[in-house]
Structure 1
Amino acid sequence: MSDTAPASPLDQFTGRIEPTKVSLLYQLGLGFVAFAMVLLPVVYVAFILGVGWLVLWHLEAHSGMGENIEGRAALIALGAYLAPAVVGGILILFLLKPLFSSPEKKPQVFKLAKADEPLLFEFVARICQHVGAPVPREIRLDTQVNASAGFRRGWLSFFGSDLVLVIGLPLVAGMTTRQLAGVLAHEFGHFSQGAGMRLSYIIRSVNLWFARVVFERDQWDQTLADWSSMEDVPSIEGLLVKIPLKLAQGGVWVGRRVLWCLMHLGHAISCFMSRQMEFDADSYEAKLAGSEEFARTAERLRHLGLGHAIAMHDAEETYQSKELPEDLPALVSWREKNLTADKRVAIDKLSAENKTQWWDTHPADADRVKAALAWRAPGIFHHEAPAAELFANFNATCRAVTRHFFEQILEISLEKVSLRDAEGVEEGRQVADTYKQNLTAFYDKNFHPLRIKPIELEDSGAWREARAQMQALSKTYGHQLEHLERQQDRQLKQIVGRDLITAGFVVSEPGQFFLTSGSKNGADLALQQTQRELQKLHGMMSGYEGGCARRLSAALGAWRSRQADEAALQNFDRLLVAQRVLAGMVSGLMLTSCTIHSLQVILGNAQHHPDGAELKRQALALVQRIDTAYNECKLALSAIPHPYLPDHPPMSEVMILPDKLENEWDGAAQQIRIFTEVLVPLFIRIMGDLCGFVLEAEKEENVGTASPVPAGAGAAAA
């Protein structure tokens, strides 16, 4: 046994980094882009002043409107005279608002105390010293596969060296100290040159401002829309009020189009320089960690990014069962380690084929790696220990940051949710992976949740013939499924088109909704035709599906008749009861889910509707349709025990709506989310576990060559 203490990462820096030189032309280009970006808001202000000048000119030039006119005609003339002023005034207010409105305050990212992690802070300071960048005053942590450095207080820190560093803990969990050091060197490389750092901040800030004001909506927009829909006023007086407000809405739309054009102009101007800044920052990563390590780190980032996407999907699924992972970085790292070779090859191939486009703010990975390798930099830091060793207690920090993410960022109340440790989450996700494998083993690629009927058991022993029938028709059925999905997509678009027509919209291009005419009768006829096509297709698919149903019934009946374990039988029966109920409602739920597409299209085109009050009534009718289906579903599931949750409460308990709903439209969207993201995935998991029992029974009987994943009873008890 050696008494030698492990090497400190602080002692592993060898040599020094030569600053990356930038040409005078590059600096002039950066200055020009920054000047152009500042000029764009000036153009916007000039547009506002132009609108104001036109309003004043109108009031002065047409002050004689209404002279020698009496009665109601005088009132109309007065309205015509004041309307441009009202429209212009409202437009100016809406155009001025973005100049003074502040962005919505975001929850603070987890702040790390220097006293708690002295090694990490000193490590970051050493990197800054070698890169030639200011040392950050704060280090914050989040759960993203990313790191970033920026001015700690925004513009208040613009003329100083007051930086904040944000480190994504999945990077720490999945990288070596060398790789993490390279990533941090890249971030601080942006700040190695003071003037360039500030000019780039101006460019990014203006781009973000334009994006925010173009797409952000607030109470002002809602109030203007409500006023424009007023109908409780006399006809002439009502028109005198509604017409200016409608014109004002149109003016606001034009104003936002102006902003939209300026936003894209600014983006086009800044993209080239933004890519050059990324190349410069990459050079510092290559010089610190080495050019070859840069390429390996780029690959690592891609794989961790995919692991993060899968982990977040895992968290979303487990949340439906009132569980969340207590350590997200550990889950990301585990998911990345368990990526199949096919997935790694696919994402690396996609990255290699990706080309940098002129509108990209970052170069493509392949271009960045090529440039880094051209540096032929050996690097000055080669410490290969896990990056987690930079933390005094990495696991505890991950748990604290994960809790902060759920509570502060996502605003999830953890009082109603249990947090599972990394081992428990991994076990649960392995179960989830198991049911997916079972579905593939049973159905091949032909599983479709809307094509499943309630299962009735029969111990007939006819599964050999049923399995042979499925295999014989498998390829044909696969083509039929593709045709079915096309017809269902056609039906969805037709439903949206019909709902638009019912709501009073003029559908000038019915073909985009697969309609032959823009009338309600024409929409109904088109839907009836599609329904006939679907019925015909259902008949053609019955051979494969009949074999599937007989195979399930026979094999599950045999499995149950031979099972002596009482607990396993109870788990099996709960799965079967839940399957029967959900199989009877899943198809209807998904059809109801189409309503949300209609609602989104209707609300998204509200400004084009001639009667706001009527539109609202029609939209509320769609909301009521969704709400009725939701309540009926909840009632049906209130007596069915949940097959997976501890103590098996009613399945209706997973139909959790958020505590805060913005409005009735948000409520409808959340109800549809429960249909599509809670109940349908639950049904799929149940079918996967039942298929596991089938495969187990068939293996015992040596039916075919199916190899069940031996998790049937275990999955049911999870």
Structure 2
Amino acid sequence: MIEFRCSGCQTAFSISPDKQGKKAKCPKCGEIMQIPRLETAVPVSTAAVAAPPQASVKTPEPKAKPTLDPTLHRAAVMGSFQGTFERPKTGFLYLLSALGVAIVMVALPVIYFAFIALVAYAVYYHLVHHIGMLGWARGQGAIVLFVLYIAPLFIGGAGIFFMLRPLFAKRSRPMKIRSVTQESDPLLYDFVIKICQLVGAPIPKRIDIDDRLNASAGFRSGIWSMFRGNDLVLRIGVPLVAGLSTRQFAGVLAHEFGHFSQGAGMRLSYLIRSISDWFAQVVYQQDDWDDWLNDKSDGVDMARLFVRFTRGLLWVLMQIGQLSAGFLLRQMEYHADQYEIRLAGSDAFQQTTSRMRMLAAAYDLTIQMLMSVLLRAGGMVDDLTAFLKFQLHHLPDEIKQQIRDSGELERTSFFDSHPCDRDRIAAAVAADAPGVFHYDGLAVELFTDFQQLSKDVTRDRYSHLINHDLQPSDLMPYREFVEKYELDIFGKHTEENLKKTRIREVQHDFSNLVGRPGSKPKR
């Protein structure tokens, strides 16, 4: 018999070998699964994980997780890379178009600074060439003329100040960087190195861990690393790892490294994305100056009008940049998708896409609930991913179906930097790639102590939010948190009332999440 677990709800199945390689729908969570072949199936005992508890006042303790034999597990994971990986080709026209878009993106900040210079020159021209107006009148008329003469200096100077302000305004305190090393997590490092070698990407110099539902590969020291060869850093979010199988996680990493497999394309795409992100940051992110203006001014005054004008100008430039770069960035995503598809297979790509939509909904609801409890009562759960899995396990079937249906309604717009899931899945189906990696264990098992790592980054997030370093004793164990706050969060009085209230609340919250920019993780 073939023993395996659903990648969605971790339900164990035992199926006869004649079903190997076929697709099936999990009767419990509706996840579309690829039944592994007998030689690649992971025994349920080695992939076992404590199931999230059912919502009840007294949460039962989980059964102890079986300990994996490190040597056998390592051999199973690394031995699952089989076959020849064919790297996608990048044509000359692709790089030429990337260069064209990069030129446009660089021109946009130049246009912005040229506008600032134009305002400065207009003020200078007025002060030098219109000084004669001061002799046109005497007495009180001279005072009025002097005010008119000097007014452009103050107005123009204020305008220049507020247009330069985004460059110097202090940003929020950066979150603590937590990294894993080759000594602390040797299997993860070997896994990453193997994928880099297959896709032809440079090996990252550092692997950082955070609490976001995402994975990304970027230059370690920003723009300065562009001139230092392959100075890269890989960033992995613990919620992403907790929600994916090893095969799905491998595909996500291959996608990220696919962006960095071409030296010139890597640097051009980094430049394009960096400029786009800068525009988005200065347009939407509040800084210290905004806080000061809100405190010191009432209603609409001149300073706030300048801020609105500056952000309006930047917004126009940002829209131009997104429109010009949108097509190219989407093609870059399709190109990176091919790395994921060829490594993990077309079927795994579809499963990962569906899984990440579900995880995104549960993640957003988790953050909303945790933040509401934190602000209202000061309760801080010690493990974000444990609570995320609890949320995911208790999403009503109606909401899960709504999440799946939302993917069919998506369409890619001209301003999107990523194609919609529907179009990406269609490309994966057309590729019909079997993949070269077929290990379906849990991605968390690549880490030496994932649970502790998840607790550490959860504490980092809370410390960043309250601007104060916390100790593990300051946080509430996950199970105590659920038992204490489920009355407040879910309005529970009876099981039936819990179900009705929960569905109503989640439907209301989810209606604001589906389709909202930034609510879905991008890869």
Q: Give TM-score, length-normalised by structure 2.
A: 0.74
Q: One-letter code of the match for 1:182?
A: G
Aligned counterpart, 1:551? none
Which one of 190, 200, 204 corresponds to residue 132 of structure 1? 200
What CA deviation, in whole Å up to 9, does each residue of 1:645-675 have, x standing for no partner? xxxxxxxxxxxxxxxxxxxxxxxxxxxxxxx
- Largest Rg, 1 or 2: 1
Give the distance between the partners of 2:466 and 2:302, measured in 1 at CA: 39
Give, in angstroms, the shift of residue 100 of structure 1.
5.3
Give the distance between the partners of 1:169 and 1:332, measured in 2 at CA: 11
What are structure 1's unaligned runs of at least 5 residues?
230-244, 450-718
Give the distance between the partners of 2:397 and 2:292, measured in 1 at CA: 54
Superposition pairs for residues 183-194 of structure 1, below 5 Å?
Answer: 183-194=252-263
Aligned counterpart, 2:13? none
Give the distance between the partners of 2:164 and 2:179, measured in 1 at CA: 35
Aligned-partner SS, 2:218: strand
* Contact 1:298–1:365 under 8 Å retained in 2: yes
Aligned-partner SS, 2:380: strand
Which one of 207, 220, 225 corresponds to residue 157 of structure 1? 225
Which one of 421, 425, 430 corresponds to residue 369 of structure 1? 425
Q: One-letter code of the match for 2:462?
A: F
Give the distance between the partners of 1:442 and 1:251, measured in 2 at CA: 50
Aligned counterpart, 1:301? 356
- CA 217–78 in structure 1, closer or farther in 2 if over 3 Å, else same: farther
Superposition pairs for residues 651-666 of structure 1, below 5 Å?
Answer: none
Aligned counterpart, 1:271? 326
What CA deviation, in whole Å up to 9, does each residue of 1:453-496 have, x standing for no partner? xxxxxxxxxxxxxxxxxxxxxxxxxxxxxxxxxxxxxxxxxxxx
Give, in angstroms, the shift of residue 41 of structure 1.
1.3
Aligned counterpart, 1:211? 280
Aligned counterpart, 2:404? 348
Asked if 1:74 corresponds to 2:139, the answer is no
* Contact 2:322–2:416 under 8 Å retained in 1: no
Q: One-letter code of the match for 2:240?
A: L
Tell me the number of residue pairs that the alignment of Structure 1 and Structure 2 aligns: 433
Aligned counterpart, 2:72? 5
Give the distance between the partners of 2:214 and 2:422, measured in 1 at CA: 19
Asked if 1:360 corresponds to 2:416, the answer is yes
What CA deviation, in whole Å up to 9, does each residue of 1:370-402 have, x standing for no partner? 111211111111011111111112222222222
Asked if 1:46 corresponds to 2:114, the answer is yes
Give the distance between the partners of 2:184 and 2:396, measured in 1 at CA: 37
Aligned counterpart, 2:312? 257
Which one of 275, 282, 291 corresponds to residue 346 of structure 2? 291
* Contact 1:144–1:170 under 8 Å retained in 2: yes
Give the distance between the partners of 1:197 and 1:382, measured in 2 at CA: 28
- CA 318–90 in structure 1, closer or farther in 2 if over 3 Å, else same: closer
- CA 221–379 in structure 1, closer or farther in 2 if over 3 Å, else same: closer
Q: One-letter code of the match for 2:269?
A: S
What CA deviation, in whole Å up to 9, does each residue of 1:56-97 have, x standing for no partner? 221232111121533332222111111112222222233234
Give the distance between the partners of 2:219 and 2:195, measured in 1 at CA: 18
Amino-acid identity (%): 40
Give, in angstroms, the shift of residue 246 of structure 1.
6.7
Give the distance between the partners of 1:331 and 1:305, measured in 2 at CA: 14
Aligned counterpart, 2:440? 384
Q: Give TM-score, length-normalised by structure 1.
A: 0.55
- CA 72–223 in structure 1, closer or farther in 2 if over 3 Å, else same: farther
Aligned-partner SS, 2:216: strand
Which one of 426, 449, 457 corresponds to residue 401 of structure 1? 457
Higher relative contact order (CA 8 A, sep 6+): 2
Q: Which moved more, 1:412-421 or 1:402-411?
A: 412-421
Give the distance between the partners of 1:263 and 1:406, measured in 2 at CA: 32
* Contact 1:191–1:197 under 8 Å retained in 2: yes
Which one of 250, 263, 271 corresponds to residue 202 of structure 1? 271
- CA 52–317 in structure 1, closer or farther in 2 if over 3 Å, else same: closer
Aligned-partner SS, 2:208: strand
Aligned-partner SS, 1:47: helix
Aligned counterpart, 1:55? 123
Which one of 79, 88, 93 corresponds to residue 20 of structure 1? 88
- CA 222–374 in structure 1, closer or farther in 2 if over 3 Å, else same: closer
Which one of 77, 98, 109 corresponds to residue 30 of structure 1? 98
* Contact 1:314–1:429 under 8 Å retained in 2: no
Give, in angstroms, the shift of residue 215 of structure 1.
3.8
Q: One-letter code of the match for 2:270?
A: Y
What are structure 2's unaligned runs of at least 5 residues?
1-44, 47-68, 506-523
